[in-house]
A and B are shown apart, each in its own frame.
Chain A
């Protein structure tokens, strides 16, 4: 059974197409991730699915309800954690949850029981009486996750759930999300631009860039599809070496990226000497060579032609020369 289906979901802002004919399905019980750089259109998709924004074209159903014609049914079925904090700072944690529960029509007994329950789920029992302005960023995030779960939603939307949190808090939140997914049987759809988050948390990932979903699969399948291993080669005459390697039967794919070649091949360890030999044959010098298993980063690079870092730096208009220096030696 599908928790979410979208068909040609599209959002245009004047000339900009923020979401471009996106179609995908999320199964019940999944943790589905939308992975993409800043401005890819992730939040816009979430806003349309949660009825906060009407699509320009296309349609979607959440838990079987159309986002256009059954808004209140959709709203009742979903829990939301927005990208930016959406709490009332002048209320306590408990009061924020209580407000939420009342808005969703929960009766008093259920309300109080559920508040304690969700507070315990995210480990905030002893902070319930504290004003939100005295919470740390991570505590606020956990409270928002608890609040999203208050009314027993079928589908929980998490828009960049760990943005701006330290690595330790981030790992905690991943644990919470996994546990909630199992304990509460809630389908989770989250957005992120952290590879690691998508990799360790999601059952399936959709890679999104410039409003388009480029590929959807499990993290394992995506990585496996890249070919087994990846050789990173830095050499003098890259162009020549690239065309030479492309002709070799053992090379599955070779891509040039900046001052490096990324070569995918099976049994990468054994291909290092072969690559060195190839370079010598055409008279170029290899400066560095390394081998690793493919990561989501490679998957992302394969489909978008860029690393996620690059896109974000370009958005911030960092000159490319400086960008390289900052990244340091390879």
Chain B
């Protein structure tokens, strides 16, 4: 019998990811640098940026913070795909693949590890953003934050997994990932309200899953959103499930070296 939900295997992979994460200090702080400086400098520089669609009581830094949190999650999740490529390059993937465990358990373990590290990065970022001037709208909303964070990270971890399963080299992987992630980010409304776009571009935003992620995070952190949070969550959940399926499918078909 194929035991695809093998807790011990999932835990082993998760534990390894945690150890590797905690031992790579430069990664922890390095990947927080860019979004933090964006938040600080754009937040200050565009202090008076006030499009009609933005409520008057919210300043630009507070508007931007949930968007930058999404960036942290999105790019933090890329590490899992990278890790697959590293493992393949250093032969460790063979050690994993020759074990008598199902490929689905391996994907679940890696996803869990990737989501946890992205989440840790996300919470570090929120702490820093609070220090920079982010004001939370309320405790109840804040409790929803992890939910959206998990969905966003889960989606992008598996996107990375899927793409890493089809690629050989690190450089190609970053190029493809950036080619997908940057447009998604710019269309997500992370930096400015999508009402700034012409209507047809706004439609592109509405089919962009990250848009619902940013919208949901914005609801949770600063209490403003375009759609009801449960709707955002439902769209994200569907997308995330699709990505997990795609990641598992492509990973289980990929070569070990």
Residue in A80, A90, A147 whose Cβ sees the most chain B Cβ within 10 Å: A90
How close is B103's CB to chain A, nearest CB, in angstroms?
A: 11
Stretch at the interface among B11-19, B43-51, B203-211: B11-19
A-B contact pairs, 19 of them (CB 8 A): A73-B100, A75-B98, A76-B100, A80-B94, A86-B92, A86-B94, A86-B95, A88-B92, A89-B90, A90-B23, A91-B19, A99-B15, A100-B95, A102-B9, A102-B11, A102-B12, A103-B99, A104-B100, A105-B8
Are A104 and B99 also in contact (CB < 8 A) when A91-B16, A91-B19, A99-B16 are?
A: yes
Which residues of A line the B interface, CB within 8 A?
50-52, 71-73, 75-76, 78, 80, 82, 84-91, 95, 99-100, 102-105, 147
Instruction: Report the separation of the CA atoms of residues A103 and B256 in the bound assembly, to the nearest whole angstrom.
Output: 17
Could you give, for residues 10-33 of chain B, a 1 whenever the CB lies within 8 Å of some chain A CB and a 0 otherwise?
Answer: 011001100110011000000000
Instruction: Report the separation of the CA atoms of residues A91 and B101 in the bound assembly, to the nearest whole angstrom.
Output: 21
Q: Would you call B99 and A84 a contact (CB within 8 A)?
A: no
- Which of A50, A51, A86 has a CB less than 8 Å from the CB of B90? A86
| Residues in A whose Cβ lies below 8 Å from that of B228 | none
| Residues in B whose Cβ lies below 8 Å from that of A73 | 100
Q: Would you call A72 and B19 a contact (CB within 8 A)?
A: no
- Which of A72, A82, A99 has a CB less than 8 Å from the CB of B12? A99
Instruction: Report the separation of the CA atoms of residues A84 and B91 in the bound assembly, to the nearest whole angstrom.
Output: 7
Instruction: Report the separation of the CA atoms of residues A50 and B23 in the bound assembly, to the nearest whole angstrom.
Output: 32
**Which residue of the partner chain A has the closest CB to B21?**
A90
The 10 closest A-B pairs by CB, nearest first: A102-B12, A86-B91, A75-B100, A103-B99, A72-B100, A76-B100, A86-B95, A84-B91, A86-B94, A90-B20
Q: Would you call B94 and A90 a contact (CB within 8 A)?
A: no
Instruction: Report the separation of the CA atoms of residues A118 and B98 in the bound assembly, to the nearest whole angstrom.
Output: 20
Which residues of B line the A interface, CB within 8 A?
2, 6, 8-9, 11-12, 15-16, 19-20, 23-24, 90-92, 94-101, 256
Q: Would you call A95 and B19 a contact (CB within 8 A)?
A: yes
Q: Would you call A52 and B256 a contact (CB within 8 A)?
A: yes
Are A90 and B19 also in contact (CB < 8 A) when A72-B100, A103-B101 are?
A: yes
| Residues in B whose Cβ lies below 8 Å from that of A51 | 98
Instruction: Report the separation of the CA atoms of residues A84 and B93 in the bound assembly, to the nearest whole angstrom.
Output: 12
| Residues in B whose Cβ lies below 8 Å from that of A103 | 9, 12, 96, 99, 101
| Residues in B whose Cβ lies below 8 Å from that of A91 | 16, 19-20
| Residues in A whose Cβ lies below 8 Å from that of B8 | 102, 105
Instruction: Report the separation of the CA atoms of residues A88 and B113 in the bound assembly, to the nearest whole angstrom.
Output: 16
Instruction: Report the separation of the CA atoms of residues A28 and B161 in the bound assembly, to the nearest whole angstrom.
Output: 40
Are A82 and B94 also in contact (CB < 8 A) when A72-B100, A75-B99 are?
A: yes
| Residues in A whose Cβ lies below 8 Å from that of B16 | 88, 91, 95, 99
Q: Would you call B12 and A50 a contact (CB within 8 A)?
A: no
Are A87 and B92 also in contact (CB < 8 A) when A52-B256, A102-B9, A102-B11 are?
A: yes
Instruction: Report the separation of the CA atoms of residues A85 and B91 in the bound assembly, to the nearest whole angstrom.
Output: 6
How close is A45's CB to chain B, nearest CB, in angstroms?
A: 15
Q: Would you call B9 and A72 a contact (CB within 8 A)?
A: no
**Which residue of the partner chain A has the closest CB to B106?**
A103
| Residues in A whose Cβ lies below 8 Å from that of B100 | 71-73, 75-76, 104
How close is A14's CB to chain B, nearest CB, in angstroms?
A: 15
Instruction: Report the separation of the CA atoms of residues A313 and B141 in the bound assembly, to the nearest whole angstrom.
Output: 70
How close is A69's CB to chain B, nearest CB, in angstroms?
A: 13
Instruction: Report the separation of the CA atoms of residues A50 and B99 in the bound assembly, to the nearest whole angstrom.
Output: 10
How close is B9's CB to chain A, nearest CB, in angstroms?
A: 6
| Residues in B whose Cβ lies below 8 Å from that of A84 | 91
| Residues in B whose Cβ lies below 8 Å from that of A52 | 94, 97-98, 256
Q: Would you call B92 and A80 a contact (CB within 8 A)?
A: no
| Residues in B whose Cβ lies below 8 Å from that of A75 | 98-100
**Which residue of the partner chain B has the closest CB to A80?**
B98
Q: Would you call A50 and B19 a contact (CB within 8 A)?
A: no
How close is A53's CB to chain B, nearest CB, in angstroms?
A: 8
How close is A107's CB to chain B, nearest CB, in angstroms?
A: 9
- Starting from the known contacts A82-B91, A90-B23, 10 additional A-B residue pairs (CB-CB under 8 Å) come to A80-B98, A82-B95, A85-B91, A86-B94, A89-B90, A91-B16, A91-B19, A102-B9, A103-B9, A104-B100
